[in-house]
Amino acid sequence: MKVSFYLFFLSFGFSLNCYGQLSIIPTWNKKPLELQHVYLIHNKDSISFSTLKIYFSDFRFKDKISGRITSIDTLIFYDLADSSTHSFFNDLNLSNYECVAFTLGLDSSKNVSGELENAYDPLLGMYWAWNTGYINLKIMGESSAVPTNSHEFEFHLGGYRSPFATAQTIQIDLNDQYIYFDLEKLFSENIKLTKNHHILMPCKDAFLISQGLSACFK
């Protein structure tokens, strides 16, 4: 009921306003993902999420008519637990654009900028103090597939140094104002929780999982 209402609300909102407010919608089985809700992986193992935080940057919008690219090189912080972070670019006329490309994460220059303000604030829980840099994507939760007593999983995917640079360029068509992030696909195809359930630093596994993220956005 809650999900249906949410989808109705989104549709209603879109019909009223096709301008601005690009929104990120994490999904599971084509429905908006909810924290602490229990889902099934392959109709077998349970999974629930406690944290989903993402950095987006370097947005480039392609104009439908002229093909001109409008670049917005800002850092966007998304936190599923904080609805104020779910939508952005309020003043943009999205109906003018055919597609958008963006970076999931931060490039090396943003990682080492020493900015620390606004979206860079370490209080957001995405800053690695020991290794100057930021987590691109933080996903945490529990799953019966994790073969430990706590069944917890933690994915802190980040790193900007070769050979484990994890920021990903993603391009999607702009059919509406929503960017959908399919976590069911991520946990069904990219992440095998039986083998890999804790990544807390830049490494080969973080790199490999990050490479599959593009296919999870549409």
* CB-nearer residue toward other proteins: 122 or 147: 122
- Using rule CB under 8 A, residue 74 touches other proteins: no
Q: Pick out residues in 169-208 that bind other proteins (CB under 8 A).
A: 202-203
Cα Rg of the chain, angstroms: 17
Q: How far apart are CA 111 and CA 123, in angstroms?
A: 16
- Using rule CB under 8 A, residue 164 touches other proteins: yes
Number of residues in contact with other proteins, rule: CB under 8 A? 19
- Using rule CB under 8 A, residue 84 touches other proteins: no
- Using rule CB under 8 A, residue 161 touches other proteins: yes
* CB-nearer residue toward other proteins: 68 or 161: 161
What is the closest distance, in whole angstroms, from the C-beta atom of residue 10 to other proteins in the complex?
32
Tokens, residue 32? 């908006």
* CB-nearer residue toward other proteins: 152 or 205: 205
* CB-nearer residue toward other proteins: 1 or 123: 123
- Using rule CB under 8 A, residue 105 touches other proteins: no
Q: How far apart are CA 156 and CA 134, in angstroms?
A: 9
What is the closest distance, in whole angstroms, from the C-beta atom of residue 110 to other proteins in the complex?
12
* CB-nearer residue toward other proteins: 26 or 158: 158
Q: How far apart are CA 93 and CA 106, in angstroms?
A: 25
What is the closest distance, in whole angstroms, from the C-beta atom of residue 166 to other proteins in the complex?
12
What is the closest distance, in whole angstroms, from the C-beta atom of residue 161 to other proteins in the complex?
6
SS3 labels along the chain: CHHHHHHHHHHHHHHHCCCCCEEEEEEECCEECCCCCCEEECCCEEEEEEEEEEEEEEEEEEECCCCCEEEEEEEEEEECCCHHHCEECCCCCHHHEEEEEEEECCCHHHHCCCCCCHHHCHHHCCEEHHHCEEEEEEEEEEECCCCCCCCEEEEEEECCCCCCCCCEEEEEECCCCEEEEEHHHHHHHHCCCCCCCEECCCCHHHHHHHHCCHHHEC
* CB-nearer residue toward other proteins: 33 or 119: 119
Q: Pick out residues in 111-130 that bind other proteins (CB under 8 A).
A: 112-117, 120-123, 127, 129-130
Residue ranges binding other proteins (CB under 8 A): 112-117, 120-123, 127, 129-132, 161, 164, 202-203
